[in-house]
Amino acid sequence: MNLLTASFIFFLLLFAMQHGMVKTLSLDQNAKNATKPKLAALLAFGDSIFDPGNNNDLQTMTKSDFLPYGMDFVTHRPTGRFCNGKIPTDFIASKLGIKELLPAYLGTDLTNQDLITGVSFASGGTGFDPITSQLAASIPMTRQLELFKEYREKVKGILGEKRATELFSESAYLIVAGSDDLASPYFSSPLWSNHYDFSSYADLILHSASGFIQELIQRGARKIGIVGIPPIGCVPSQRTLQGGFDRGCASNQNEVAQIYNARLVKEVEKIKNSHQNITLVYIDTFGFLLDMIEQPTKYGFEVSYKGCCGTGLLEASFLCNPMTLRVCADVSGYVFWDSFHPTEKAYSMLVDYLYENYIQYLVS
């Protein structure tokens, strides 16, 4: 390139920049923000919906660290996630720009980076009712808080007190529990259901949920999302056990779920009004999942009344194992992976909906 040509190109670019025809090559603020995580970390608590493997080393039958679980995971190996692939916390962590997978706190080799970007304390089979975790031999919600306290000390050791405190306040905290309370013990034990009517049992688990939220706030949480109970009566196992001869949705379970959800909405508002600088979001999954179950073809599915694993009627956890008679030929056509948990595809769609309507409000 000769001097005349170079000069011509220089003046041409200068003219274009002055008239807004091209942008400078330096990164603008929006480009910088596009690659910056929306929140410091993601911390998850609750049951199997958020459990990426905390149950693996427990003496419990509520496990999924064996095939066919994980067959469609990125490694094609079981991790303890109750799904054929990723679970909601993985998709949420990715959408928040934090990391692609949210690891279990227990039983995994976590690096400092793993810890400071968040973990899950969730345990398959647990619930807000203390009896639920006892029956499942899972990690109670109270124990998950103790593990969180232990985790906090580790993070302080990595970052120091000041930076760790900032991280805890700029992290998202997600809670999901209640489904296992209705599946067991409430509707599986006559003694339990005879002791509590629908309203009083909804109040029992609501009281526990409220206390859990308050504990997180006391320990530095400022951005909290709590997930309501889904239409648990419509999952395949509850259709089989409680849905009668035609395996319809178990209406009693859905009724208690809706009572609890309605009261949780009010409790969330009450807690928000009693604390300053707190973002607390109620996350409703009931309507979206019910629509997906009732109209599967609308979402690109074919089957929603049974799971992919085995017969799809009862198999979940230890019943969905390498000796299971069969796994469906095309999992993409199924809403449910086993008789209790959705497929990775269904979870992905659910998280898209939840992020747009609820989770994005934790980002501020």
User: Could you tell me the CATH number of the domain that includes residue 59?
Assistant: 3.40.50
In a domain, 291, yes or no: no
**Token pair recorded at residue 238:** 């509850």
The pLDDT, as a whole number, for residue 108 is 82
Nearest residue to 100 via CA among 82, 110, 111, 114: 114
The pLDDT, as a whole number, for residue 8 is 35
The pLDDT, as a whole number, for residue 324 is 82
pTM here is 0.90
Q: What are the residue numbers of the active site? A: 48, 338, 341
Give the contacts of 88 (CB within 8 A, at least 6 positions apart).
Answer: 49, 50, 176, 347, 350, 351, 354
Which amino acid, one-letter code, is at 49? I
Give the whole-angstrom CA distance, residue 274 versus residue 33. 33
- The pLDDT tens digits for 36-49 are 788 999 999 999 99
**Token pair recorded at residue 50:** 């958020």
Kindly report the CA angle at 177 between 173 and 180, in degrees rounded to 5? 160
The pLDDT, as a whole number, for residue 16 is 38
Contact 237, 313 (CB under 8 A): yes
In a domain, 305, yes or no: no
In a domain, 294, yes or no: no
Q: Tell the residue number behind the tokens 């670019």, with chain if given.
A: 13
**Token pair recorded at residue 98:** 């934090």
Half-sphere exposure at residue 113, Cβ-oriented, CA atoms within 13 angstroms: 3
Ranges under pLDDT 50 in the chain: 1-34
**Token pair recorded at residue 129:** 């009712």
- The pLDDT tens digits for 163-216 are 999 999 999 999 999 999 999 988 887 777 788 999 999 999 999 999 999 999
In a domain, 7, yes or no: no
In a domain, 336, yes or no: no
Contact 39, 46 (CB under 8 A): no
Contact 346, 301 (CB under 8 A): yes
The pLDDT, as a whole number, for residue 24 is 30
Which amino acid, one-letter code, is at 331? V
In a domain, 198, yes or no: yes
Nearest residue to 44 via CA among 135, 120, 140, 125: 120
Provide the residue range defining the domain that includes 86. 39-286
The number of folded domains in the chain is: 1
Contact 89, 46 (CB under 8 A): no
The pLDDT, as a whole number, for residue 263 is 98
Any bridge partners for residue 42, and if so which? 172
Give the whole-angstrom CA distance, residue 129 versus residue 126. 8
Q: What is the CA radius of gyration of the chain?
A: 23
The pLDDT, as a whole number, for residue 300 is 98
Give the whole-angstrom CA distance, residue 54 versus residue 65. 10
The pLDDT, as a whole number, for residue 35 is 53
In a domain, 12, yes or no: no
In a domain, 334, yes or no: no
